[in-house]
Structure 1
């Protein structure tokens, strides 16, 4: 559901376009770029498909061909557009360095990587697996984020800084999760079947954390930076270390929103 502050995707688009017009007027060097990416478009999905297709394209696969795939997906599955709007709102509310929707849309590669993955996932479920794997490969090259097309990712997800994030085939990331750079949601070997982590709502995963195997990170929990998690994590706790152990509990129900990285503060509350 689109956040109540927007009421509709049209209202969100009006705000975003207004931001773009202001930036184009203030910074002439960016004017043509902002017009091409945002101002020249009639709605958000048109702008988004233009930006993402130019990220994914290469000399062999032109942007116009990739854009047709995005536009088809957005037409047939409008929930993808709604999820993108909620993802932008998530970044704006969680990252103190961000002050506008426009900044997320045109600059944040974690946001781009997540939306490109949504297309790969759409194609995967349409049995267009070779094309979905191509999109995954291009996403990895363009953004430094490697997400298997079959991985399930909810909305309101922030991939912060994003470089080096790896998410495996049977991983599940629920709504309202924050994941920092160099995080791996991986397997433990060459086993088949359901073999990757399940990340529940409200979780924050610190930079460099490795979560391995078909395990669950419980709702509202926090994984400290650099941790290696090899077993289930209960709800509403903070884990840290190699292997990770419970050291305390977050001071809020949604660590993904507070983004507090200091696990020593959580330990003091245990």
Structure 2
């Protein structure tokens, strides 16, 4: 099937991208997914309007079946399994099939080495808000990927959110900001809720306030042209309560702490790449 898109492994990230495709109008008949369990396959087919889902416990060669005849193949297993999966499906790929990895820390060179020579390859870095169509997905093209093939891959991801093209050497930095970033926002909400309890609020009320505040602020940031600094200044009145809090954050070195965390995430991604290599 010339336009078929195969999702090999359908955990939370690949399912989020798949869901975005279906919601954007892609014919479910053009989508195939592989999973381990038959129960999970049936669940996916029902949830996503009749896509084809093949369970490994029933069809041991499900990955090869899905890859054969597909225009785009998206590898969605854990990083440690990406190269083995690439080798497994190699004989089923057309020379023009675009192979996309959504696994962190697996380099283009590592992926290309596990595939037939000349295979078009793209490395991507999505994040979890893709589940809601509000993700950020970076794409980095391999040496055998044409501009037309890169555009085709971008179109696959658009239903899941904003797509940005970056050189591969920046992928670890992207991962540290947008890939891990949702956890930073959740961590902030968690800390805000704990602070509310410390100040005497009921725990359920405190988590509600923190959750809805962070979610609402995120919606404001999603407005076209929104600037975080401008939004912050708009609610930071001179000599007011918010200014007192922001000043304390600065005194405690919060911006530097966030930068240090991002640097640690970047370093860890590079370390995993070396381990996989």
Structure 1 and Structure 2 fold alike (TM over 0.5): no
Greater share of helix residues, 1 or 2? 2
How does the TM-score come out when normalised to structure 2? 0.30
Q: Return the index of the structure with the highest Cα Rg.
A: 2
Question: Relative CO higher for 1 or 2, CA cutoff 8 Å, sep ≥ 6?
Answer: 2
TM-score, normalisation: structure 1: 0.30
